[in-house]
Copies of this chain bind each other. A is one copy, B any other.
Amino acid sequence: MKRKGILIILDGLGDRPVKELDGKTPLEYAKTPNMDKLAKIGILGQQDPIAPGKPAGSDTAHLAIFGYDPYQTYRGRGFFEALGVGLDLDEDDLAFRVNFATIENGIITDRRAGRISTEEAHELAKAIQENVKIPVEFIFVGATGHRAVLVLKGMAKGYKVGENDPHEAGKPPHRFEYADEDSKKVAEILEEFVQKAHEVLEKHPINKKRRKEGKPVANYLLIRGAGTYPNIPMKFTEEWKVKAAAVVATALVKGVARAIGFEVYTPEGATGEYNTDPMAKAKKVVELLNDYDFVFLHFKPTDAAGHDNNPMKKVEMIEKADEMIGYIIDNIDLENTVIAITGDHSTPCEVKNHSGDPVPLLIAGGGVRADYTESFGERECMRGGIGRVRGKYIVPMMMDLMGRTEKFGA
For chain A, residues 308 to 364, give those with C-beta under 8 angstroms from any C-beta of chain B: 348, 350-351, 353-357
B389 touches A252 (CB 8 A): no
- Cα–Cα distance between A348 and B50 once the two chains are bound (Å): 30
Which residues in window 370-410 of A have CB below 8 A to B?
370-372, 378-379, 382-389, 393, 395-400, 403, 405-410
Q: Verify if A241 is at the interface (C-beta below 8 Å from B).
A: no
A86 on interface, CB distance cutoff 8 Å: no
26 A-B interface contacts by CB (under 8 A): A17-B367, A17-B369, A17-B370, A23-B370, A25-B369, A52-B389, A53-B398, A54-B396, A54-B408, A55-B400, A56-B407, A56-B409, A71-B408, A74-B409, A225-B410, A351-B367, A353-B407, A355-B400, A369-B378, A369-B382, A371-B382, A371-B383, A372-B383, A382-B384, A388-B388, A388-B389
Q: How many angstroms from the CA of A223 to the CA of B356 in the assembled complex? A: 44
The answer to the question of A288 belonging to the interface, with a C-beta cut-off of 8 Å to chain B, is no
Is A57 within 8 A of B97, CB to CB? no
Interface assignment of A1: CB less than 8 Å from any CB of chain B: yes
Determine whether A70 belongs to the interface, using a CB cutoff of 8 Å to chain B. Answer: yes
**Stretch of A58-66, A125-133, A185-193 on the interface side:** A58-66
Which of B43, B59, B383 contacts A410, CB < 8 Å?
B59
List the B side residues contacting A280 at CB < 8 Å.
none
Chain B residues within an 8 Å CB radius of A367: 16-17, 348, 350-351
> With A77-B410, A351-B1 known to touch, is A356 a contact of B387 (CB < 8 Å)?
no
Contact B409 A61 (CB under 8 A): yes
B388 touches A379 (CB 8 A): no
User: Are A379 and B387 in contact, with the CB atoms below 8 A?
Assistant: no
Q: Does A51 contact B (CB under 8 A)?
A: yes
Q: Which residues of B contact A351 (CB under 8 A)?
A: 1, 367, 403
List, in ascending order, chain B residues with CB within 8 A of A393's CB.
Answer: 51-53
Report how far A398 CA is from B357 CA in the complex, Å: 10
CB distance from A91 to the nearest CB of B (A): 21
Q: Indicate with 1 or 0, residue by residue over A40-84, a CB within 8 angstroms of chain B CB atoms.
A: 000100100011111111111100000000110010010000000
Residue from the set A1, A46, A389 with the largest chain B CB neighbour count within 10 Å: A389
A368 in contact (CB, < 8 A): yes
Cβ A70 vs Cβ B383 within 8 A: no
Contacts of A57 in B (CB 8 A): 407-410
A60/B369 in contact, CB under 8 A: no
- The reply to whether A400 and B357 contact each other, CB–CB distance below 8 Å, is yes
With contacts A369-B379, A372-B383 taken as known, whether A53 is within 8 angstroms of B400 at the C-beta atoms is yes
- Which single residue of chain B is at the shortest CB-CB distance from A63? B409
| Alpha-carbon separation in the docked complex, A355 to B356 (Å) | 30
Set of chain B residues within 8 Å of A43, measured between Cβ atoms: 382
Given A52-B397, A55-B406: 19 more A-B contacts, CB < 8 Å: A1-B351, A16-B367, A17-B367, A51-B396, A52-B389, A52-B396, A53-B405, A56-B407, A56-B408, A60-B410, A71-B408, A74-B409, A356-B400, A369-B378, A370-B379, A382-B384, A383-B385, A386-B388, A387-B387
Take A46-B387, A357-B400, A382-B385 as given contacts and tell me if A409 and B59 are in contact as well, using a CB distance cutoff of 8 Å.
Answer: yes
Q: Give the residue name and chain of the B residue nearest to A23 (CB).
A: B370
Chain B residues with Cβ below 8 Å from A1 are 350-351
Give A227 to B92 CA distance when docked, in angstroms.
44
In the complex, the answer to whether B369 meets A16 with C-beta atoms within 8 Å is yes
When A60-B408, A388-B389, A410-B58 are in contact, do A396 and B350 touch as well, CB less than 8 Å?
A: no
Q: A43: shortest Cβ distance to chain B, in Å?
A: 8
Interface pairs A-B: 4 shortest CB-CB: A57-B409, A53-B396, A60-B409, A382-B385
Q: In the complex, which residue of chain B has the Cβ closest to the Cβ of A385?
A: B382
Question: Contacts of A398 on B, CB cut-off 8 Å?
Answer: 53
Chain B residues closer than 8 Å to A395, beta-carbon distance: 53
Residue of B nearest to A227 (CB): B410
Q: Which residues of B contact A357 (CB under 8 A)?
A: 369, 400
